[in-house]
Structure 1
Amino acid sequence: MLQYDDSAFYFFALSSIIFYIVPSWYTILKKVSAALFSSDESIGAISRTTAEQKKAADLKKNSKGLKTLSSTGFLVNFGITVALTALFFWLYLSVQSDGEVNSFDPFTILGIDSGADLKEIKKAYKKMSLKYHPDKNPNNPQAEATFMMVAKAYEALVDPVAKENYEKYGNPDGKQSLAVSIGLPEFLLNTNNRNVVLVAYLIIMVGVIPFAVWSYYSNSSKFGEKDVMYDSYAWFHHNLNEHTLVKQLPETLAGSAEFRQRNMPKTSADKEEIAKILTKVRGSMNKPAYNHPVVLKGNVLLHAHLTRQTSVLSEASSDDLKYMLRTSNSLVDAMISVCKHQEALGAALNCIRFSQLMVQGMWLKDSELLQLPHFTENEVKHVVAKNIADYMKIPNGQKKGLKDFTEEQKADVFKTCELLPDITVESKVYVDDDEDDKVYEGDLCTVHVTLTRNNLASGEKVGLVHAPRFPFPRREAWWIVLGTKEGKIISIDKITNPNKVVEHKIKFLTPRVGTYEFDLYVMSNAYVGFDHKSSVELTSLDASTLPEYKVHPEDAELDDEPTLFEEMMNANVENDSDSEEEEDSDEEEEEEGGIRELTAAERKKIELQNARKKAASAGGDDSDSDDDEVQEVYNEEK
């Protein structure tokens, strides 16, 4: 009979706990190591210019040190791990003292020393048998099981046969095939604990487990691709279309489902602050389409960042803005994917431009030169160059707008000009495995785009984006977009390759006969003013003008040869026909055998007829009698 066994439970609990605490401690130590020993470069806290020093210091403050481990999730997991680790060691010590699973030791069961004499054995047996006797412990299966073990232990020490079996096999009943126990603690059998066990079982099975499953499912079902909530996708689908402008996108981003709980104003002071900031940024805002408090607050905070007026924000509002900017990368990517689904080329390009402006902390009417450190509108007025790309090409000694700068500030500007991208874009159109350069209707056409970063040395990789006003590190990436003149998207992909030369292939089916001109855009995810636009021309020819394809005779012969499947089918047909022919031939042979192989009556008749003929030729008169005899024998045989 199976029984609950504390020793088996110890091993079961140890093996179960170790599956949690080992990966948990690994995660905890990894986070602690990252908080205390991670390099500045690994967390993006690098300052290549003095303008980046404040950003780097904030990243170190928020990403390094023990205070970075104060999140609720980390603390809860740490507490659970410590408690389970303490339980693990307690179970380990218990195993050390009582570690043999389902062991049978009569001395231990009776509570006596291994050298006890017969008198002590009988005394211990009498004491324990009275204590655990079923009559004194009604409806107590644990006491009943203990009573049986006491009787068994006494028998193993007193009865000669049982003692011999115990000494030889470890069991008084003789050799056992298998000793099995249930890895659960014995207190579950105690009737005094019955109600507690039942209530705990109901709580776990009816409450805890269903709640955990519901929580996991309800949380996971809210998120789609790129860890963006489905409600955000629905919001983007509702607000984005081919006519969406850049000035409308801050409000669209502010309405994302990720911000609805955090950006809800909770006090009258919050509402007053938002109203105060609104008066400062109203001139740069598009007329709000929604007056919902969450959307309005997010819209106002984003415009405070875009217009470089974050100094008026309180600490709480600054934290809310940072949370929005932290998740803006994935949300803008989701907005672009929605535009791709709608084939809205203009809206997708505006989303990319909006991402650039957020990273650099600029807005629509700002000059591209404001991406340079220490530059304001006053310095921009003295610059002759129309855009930042032209300004970068001017020798450092001839750059305008630096008259009032210190040498350190000038060095920052020169260093930034080295970090800003300088790219060359090349493209060509072809069909794979085609010897000529002609493209015919229905071909799988390839647009091969090559992006070369001229500001990188051979083998060098691009670093982080220079964006002092964006509070988080951002990797340089490029959007490669191919669209029609009618504003439809053919392909849009984000390229994150950091190498000097990056190649990207766009494949699509060649349209109907005619000449087409597509627009190819190569746009930065973080810099303003470095986008490239070029035209891709494609002439689709009539496929019917191609020379007729002639099959080589050997290929034609191969086509005539039966396939393996056909050979198998033919083999089955031949086998069937052979079997039918064999049956027919057997029947014919049987018929022929009936003619050749005469019966005994027929042979007797022929013999008698021959005998009659011989007698007739000899002059005998008994021919009639012979005929009668032959006929009689024949009739009898039949």
Structure 2
Amino acid sequence: MVALPTAVGTWWYRSIRFSGEQVLLDTTQMYFYFCHKTPSMPLKRALMILAASCEFDKRHNSEIIERITDNEEVPMLLRELPNLGEKNKEQPLCRPYSIKARALLHAHLSRMRLPPDTLECDRRYIVSRCPDLIVEMVNCVNQLIALAYARRIPRLPTIETIENCMKLSPMIVQGLWEYKSPLLQLPYITEDHLKYFTNRKKHIKSLLQLAQLPGEERRQVLRFLNDKQYDDLMKVLGNMPYIHFQVNTEVIDDENSTVVTAGAIVTVTVFLRRTNMRELFGDTTIKEKEII
């Protein structure tokens, strides 16, 4: 008779701590606070707030492992990372768990090697939790924008704020900073190899440009790879997504639906079609200006 109420009570207590996205409510409240406090949020500030999520704090998440080796390994990692902002005094951005998570995210984006049995395990766990947290952060900014338009809060978050929050997702998935070359997503390609993509005739900056090269010319550019490595790279490149999209804007129930005037309700319709990059191998009909 006692076991069932105890089990139900335990389940209820745990469930009320999370939002619909299975994100801790304390984390959601923190996102609301900082996004409202900083309506124009730079990218690194958004990353700093993401790293301060309560999911990375052992007091809120029993899956977090605190090791004695952190006392040595984390300070060593901090010394290798510039512009980490570890001297920030804001709570909880200045707390040890937040600084550690921020350092691991910076190391992930910089593709640094970490101790395999300690910090590398922590990095993998933090990265695995980031997609849901980023979705929650974007939702918080969206709600703040709606509240600002309803004049319930004084400051409207800028478009750069929500854009920077959304940029975190591809950055974390690709393990690259925003300003890094997209060619580094390909296997066997490192910073040292980027010089091979630039010559007097061509300057290859994107995956699309690489895919559009004729086969012999592409193999010449990738001459530093052996045949097996080249085949692996081409398989990965061929499976990369390429999105065709078309955007239509119109004012419904208006005589001239293509004219947008002040106060008009505009309907935006977006058509998306996903294909693989292999369909573009050697195809030069798609111009660089169409790349999104």
What range is the shorter-chain TM-score in? Answer: 0.7 to 0.9
Matched residue, 1:579: none
Deviations 1:230-286 (A, max 9, x none): 011011122233321222233222211222115867444222111122222x22634
Which residue of 216, 224, 230 maps to 2:25?
A: 230
Which residue of 366, 372, 385 maps to 2:204?
A: 385
Any gaps of 5 or more consecutive residues in structure 1? 1-203, 459-529, 533-638
> Residues 429 and 250 from structure 1, CA distance in 2 versus in 1: closer, same or farther, beyond 3 angstroms?
closer
Give the distance between the partners of 1:367 and 1:295, measured in 2 at CA: 28
Matched residue, 2:97: 294
Give the distance between the partners of 1:242 and 1:447, measured in 2 at CA: 25
Name which of structure 1's ranges 218-227 and 357-366 shifts more when overlaid on structure 2.
357-366
- Kept in 2, the 8 Å contact 1:264–1:293? The answer is no
Deviations 1:467-516 (A, max 9, x none): xxxxxxxxxxxxxxxxxxxxxxxxxxxxxxxxxxxxxxxxxxxxxxxxxx
Q: CA deviation at 1:394?
A: 2.0
> Residues 277 and 443 from structure 1, CA distance in 2 versus in 1: closer, same or farther, beyond 3 angstroms?
closer
Matched residue, 2:284: none
Give the distance between the partners of 1:292 and 1:305, measured in 2 at CA: 20
Pair 1:271 & 2:71 matched: yes
SS in 2 for 1:312: coil
Q: CA deviation at 1:431?
A: 4.1
SS in 1 for 2:269: strand
Matched residue, 2:126: 324
Q: CA deviation at 1:454?
A: 4.5
Pair 1:408 & 2:228 matched: yes
Q: In the TM superposition, what are the counterparts of 1:356-395 in structure 2 within 5 Å? A: 356-383=170-197, 384-395=203-214
Deviations 1:51-81 (A, max 9, x none): xxxxxxxxxxxxxxxxxxxxxxxxxxxxxxx
Q: CA deviation at 1:297?
A: 1.3
Give the distance between the partners of 1:364 and 1:453, measured in 2 at CA: 23
> Residues 415 and 286 from structure 1, CA distance in 2 versus in 1: closer, same or farther, beyond 3 angstroms?
farther
Give the distance between the partners of 1:387 and 1:436, measured in 2 at CA: 39
Counterpart of 2:274, as a letter, is R
Name which of structure 1's ranges 213-222 and 254-263 shifts more when overlaid on structure 2.
254-263
Counterpart of 1:306, as a letter, is L
Pair 1:252 & 2:73 matched: no
Q: CA deviation at 1:322?
A: 1.8
Matched residue, 2:148: none
Q: CA deviation at 1:432?
A: 4.4
Which residue of 126, 131, 139 maps to 1:337?
A: 139
Deviations 1:421-478 (A, max 9, x none): 22232111224466753567766532111123343899xxxxxxxxxxxxxxxxxxxx
Counterpart of 2:105, as a letter, is L
Name which of structure 1's ranges 328-337 and 296-305 shifts more when overlaid on structure 2.
296-305
Give the distance between the partners of 2:87 and 2:39, measured in 1 at CA: 19
SS in 2 for 1:448: strand
Give the distance between the partners of 2:56 and 2:238, measured in 1 at CA: 37
Which structure dedicates a bigger proportion of its chain to helix?
1
Matched residue, 1:418: 238
SS in 1 for 2:276: coil
Any gaps of 5 or more consecutive residues in structure 2? 146-156, 198-202, 280-289
Give the distance between the partners of 1:531 and 1:327, measured in 2 at CA: 30
Which residue of 255, 258, 283 maps to 2:82?
A: 283
State TM-score, norm by structure 1: 0.37
Deviations 1:17-54 (A, max 9, x none): xxxxxxxxxxxxxxxxxxxxxxxxxxxxxxxxxxxxxx
After superposition, the CA RMSD in angstroms is 2.8
> Residues 247 and 337 from structure 1, CA distance in 2 versus in 1: closer, same or farther, beyond 3 angstroms?
same
Matched residue, 1:453: 274
Give the distance between the partners of 1:267 and 1:438, measured in 2 at CA: 61
Q: Percent identity?
A: 26
Q: Greater RCO between the two (CA within 8 Å, min separation 6)? A: 2
Counterpart of 2:110, as a letter, is T
- Kept in 2, the 8 Å contact 1:263–1:297? The answer is no
Give the distance between the partners of 1:432 and 1:377, measured in 2 at CA: 50
Matched residue, 1:398: 217
Counterpart of 1:395, as a letter, is P
Give the distance between the partners of 2:252 and 2:205, measured in 1 at CA: 42
> Residues 365 and 454 from structure 1, CA distance in 2 versus in 1: closer, same or farther, beyond 3 angstroms?
closer
Give the distance between the partners of 2:115 and 2:34, measured in 1 at CA: 28
> Residues 414 and 233 from structure 1, CA distance in 2 versus in 1: closer, same or farther, beyond 3 angstroms?
same
Larger Rg belongs to:
1
Give the distance between the partners of 1:288 and 1:398, measured in 2 at CA: 50
